[in-house]
Structure 1
Amino acid sequence: MRHVLTRRNGMIALLVLSLVFPFAFSENRYVLYIMTVGFIYVIAINGMNILAGFTGQLSLAHAGFFAIGAYSVGILTTKMELNFWLALLLAIIITIVLGFALGIIALRTKEHFFAIYTLIVGYLIYLLIDKWDGLTGGIRGLIGIPVPDPIGPIEFNSPITMYYLVLFFLLVSTVVTVRIVHSLTGRTYMAIRNSEELAQTLGINTRTNKLVSFVISVAFAGLAGGLYASLVRFIGPEIAGTSMVFTFLMYLIVGGIGTLSGPIIGTMLFVWLEQFLQNFQEYRMLIFGPILVLIVIFYPTGLAGAYNSIRGRLRSRRKKDRRALNTASLESAKIHSREVQ
């Protein structure tokens, strides 16, 4: 049984379930829509996790960069009438350039000062979107954002095709995240997270590595924002608001900050929990708040970390039981040997 319940088999099972999910709910467009939105959020939070979870730099401007990606796609497709795929590529490039420029300044600060600075940047992005009526539509937002242009015979004008398109980008972002974390670059990020001073004594250029991590993080946010714009086809300034970034942060903390599976677990859990609690929207934070506090107190690494911790304890207990059994068998054999003599 232990050979069956491995991490690799679990990931394969999740992939298979994701691929067959639309066939089970092909008639329920709303369920497919919610799953697709959840996948988009996971892409954004994967980027947030690279920066906050593995590099140790908590950025509170992530929703702002998510909005930059969404508005870039919206403006380029509705006002400049560009092809969606070109608009998405340009949106990611715009997000990266702005992230690079802001990261150079932001990463001169450390710890909570960095978080405060990025919170201010995120709020400034929100104000810019809200007040620049001529470009962004202001409080009215952008309406009529087109769906992605067809790729050959494949069109993206149905919930199922949009689901698979977003799932493809989710798989790509997850593979990229795993490759980064398990590479020398990922170990460098974790060294910076554990002790920036020690990393510097080892010859690591911490400022450059933090900047690269920041740029990768905002690139994921820009990609997710662009996909979100093409899915919902209407965006408003609220997607850059502080409530959005704290929602992202809640998904990451509950799922497991600094773990590979945390963004998926936390995001999909809360996305569906919010759907079940639609009749209690005004009490939403009264329900989520205690859950978040309990997880932070008892399992700082979230649900994924809790699972790993419990699994590790069970494995350690099995090893102790096996060692005790071997010792008892050896003692029994010695006593039997003496009796025979």
Structure 2
Amino acid sequence: MAEMINKKSSILFILAIALLMPYIVPNEYILHVLVLVCIWSISVYGINIFTGYTGNLSLAHVGFFAIGAYTLGLLTVKADWNFWFALLGACVLSIILGTLVGLISLRTSGHFFAIYTMCVGYIIYLVIDKWDDLTGGVRGLVGIPSPASIGPVSFDSLTAQYYLVLLILILTILISKRIIQSLLGRTFVAIRNSEELALTIGISTKKNQLLAFVISCFFAALSGALYASFVQFIGPEVGSILLGFEMLIYLVIGGIGTLSGPLVGTLLIVTLTQSLQFLQEYRMVFFGPILLIILIFYPQGIVGLVNNIANKFKRKKVSSQPAGEKNLDKKEVG
């Protein structure tokens, strides 16, 4: 009971800091970075649903991020749609295309699946880069509007956009938590642990993998659309495979297959990356060894490491208790 209270108190404290951040640090650059952290985190949560909980590696995720960004950009700039309808259109298109790509790609498995999805992601990048009449090619799309006002609530200021993406991130985390803790989430984990065993107990592995893939595509497109409206300019680089690997790095360092890993990894790496701007292209020389150390010694990332330390501390605390206190704890639990 005390652990639950402490956990809830910690969550409320972190949420309070996030809500008060524009007033705690009234610096536009820091707020700009925090908005990017929220946007990238939404996308990384999408990767975590599919890769972290079903065990498959999709390299097409960044392609759906680009689809979300360009769909919103084209619908608002060229078709003159309202922002919110364009955002909905981007998400719906990602679900449709994600279903089509998933139905074909999930006929493969393992490294064949990863290679196939990488090819899909690269094709999306080439379409954006070469279809000059539609996407603008290397010139990109300029003048993408900020989110439209909802009644008296305007999103023209940086602070308002921060609260908008923070709200969407919170909803993303809550949805992810609901999925993970449900029967569907346990089904995903069963498939990750052993697809053959999951089949023997009657789980439709392909159907559940397809569902996880579509959910992942939805979050990728949502994140891409929010990114496009925030920076107000996008080019073919939003579909670059390098950007996809950066998102994977955020997840791996934070903790793959954990609820808070995507947020922790994205916050840490984006913050460090912005702090090391003076190193320019040599930044990855700094991150490379860190990534290797985490992969070798802490495959569950920073969150997994913290959880292991906390569990060891609890076991040590219980073992150091007198026998009478242990029995009393058992009676209280009973």
- Normalising by structure 2, report the TM-score: 0.95
Partner of 1:24: 24
The alpha carbon displacement at 1:173 in A equals 0.7
**d(CA) in 1 for partners of 2:5 and 2:121?**
42
Q: 1:238-249 counterparts in 2 under 5 A?
A: 238-249=237-248
Secondary structure of the residue that 2:320 maps to in structure 1? helix
The alpha carbon displacement at 1:314 in A equals 1.1
Q: 1:30-109 counterparts in 2 under 5 A?
A: 30-109=29-108
- The higher radius of gyration belongs to 1
Does 2:113 match 1:117? no
The alpha carbon displacement at 1:3 in A equals 4.7
**d(CA) in 2 for partners of 1:133 and 1:6?**
55
Does 2:301 match 1:320? no
**d(CA) in 1 for partners of 2:139 and 2:85?**
25
**d(CA) in 1 for partners of 2:295 and 2:159?**
37
Secondary structure of the residue that 2:56 maps to in structure 1? coil
Q: Which amino acid aligns with 1:83?
A: N
- 1:128-154 CA-partner distances (Å, limit 9, x unpaired): 100011111101110000111100011
**Residues 3, 184 of structure 1: alpha-carbon distance in 2 compared, 3 angstrom cutoff:** closer
Does 2:137 match 1:150? no
Partner of 1:188: 187
Does 2:4 match 1:7? no
**d(CA) in 2 for partners of 1:50 and 1:316?**
30
- 1:170-228 CA-partner distances (Å, limit 9, x unpaired): 01111100000000000000000000000000100000000000000000001001111
Name structure 2 gaps, 5 residues minimum: 328-334
Is the contact between residue 46 and residue 216 of structure 2 (CA under 8 Å) also seen in structure 1? yes
- 1:85-114 CA-partner distances (Å, limit 9, x unpaired): 000000000111111100001111111111
Secondary structure of the residue that 1:82 maps to in structure 2? coil
**d(CA) in 2 for partners of 1:119 and 1:317?**
46
The alpha carbon displacement at 1:316 in A equals 1.2
Q: How many aligned positions are there?
A: 326
**d(CA) in 2 for partners of 1:176 and 1:57?**
20
Superposition CA RMSD, Å: 1.6
Percent of aligned positions that are identical: 51
**d(CA) in 2 for partners of 1:60 and 1:211?**
15
**d(CA) in 2 for partners of 1:173 and 1:222?**
13
Does 2:214 match 1:215? yes
Secondary structure of the residue that 1:6 maps to in structure 2? helix
**d(CA) in 1 for partners of 2:256 and 2:5?**
23
The alpha carbon displacement at 1:7 in A equals 2.7
The alpha carbon displacement at 1:9 in A equals 2.0
**Residues 4, 181 of structure 1: alpha-carbon distance in 2 compared, 3 angstrom cutoff:** closer
Partner of 1:127: 126
Partner of 1:337: none
Partner of 2:227: 228
The alpha carbon displacement at 1:320 in A equals 1.6
Partner of 1:294: 293
Is the contact between residue 318 and residue 326 of structure 2 (CA under 8 Å) also seen in structure 1? no
Partner of 1:267: 266
**Residues 315, 223 of structure 1: alpha-carbon distance in 2 compared, 3 angstrom cutoff:** same
Name structure 1 gaps, 5 residues minimum: 331-341
**d(CA) in 1 for partners of 2:4 and 2:124?**
48
**d(CA) in 2 for partners of 1:327 and 1:21?**
47
Q: Which amino acid aligns with 1:205?
A: S
**d(CA) in 1 for partners of 2:326 and 2:132?**
80
